[in-house]
Amino acid sequence: MAEKVIRVDDIDGSEGGDVVKRDFEVLGRTFTIDLSDDNYKRLNEMLDALAPFIENAAEVKPAGKGRKSRVAKIKGYTNGDVREWALRQDIEVSERGKISDEVYAAFIEAHPDARPDV
């Protein structure tokens, strides 16, 4: 029993002996697509036309979560130390996340040995 594989162009749906899997690269990422010779030529023309724009553009990184820091803004104490002190002083402080500048200022005022991390 014989099997026949028919490749179909992913752009226009055409079939033919010239439709093959084509790899191409954009911005360091490799993609693959089934294209006829004509559509592969069109793809390369478009990539060539885009090249000067890509080369002269600056990449915009998506906004993400900020770098988590386990170190307090002051040397000699951790964020955990600041949180524990604030809770003992009945100062509202979140269990996680950013500690407000006001809490840090109050902690530094109460702890003369605390040095701001400059």
Residue-wise pLDDT for 36-53, tens only, equals 999 999 999 999 999 999
- Cα–Cα dist 71/78, whole Å: 5
39 vs 28, higher pLDDT: 39
Contact 104, 72 (CB under 8 A): yes
| 118 has a pLDDT exceeding 70 | no
What residue type is assigned to position 99 of the chain? I
pLDDT value, residue 69: 52
Beta strands in the chain (DSSP E): 20-26, 29-35, 74-75, 115-116
Say yes or no to pLDDT of 15 above 70: yes
Pairs from 58-64 (Cβ < 8 Å, separation ≥ 24): none
CA distances from 90 to 37, 38, 86 (A): 73, 73, 6
**Structure confidence at residue 98 as a pLDDT band (50, 70, 90):** confident
| Least confident stretch, 29-38, 41-50, 70-79, 108-117 | 70-79
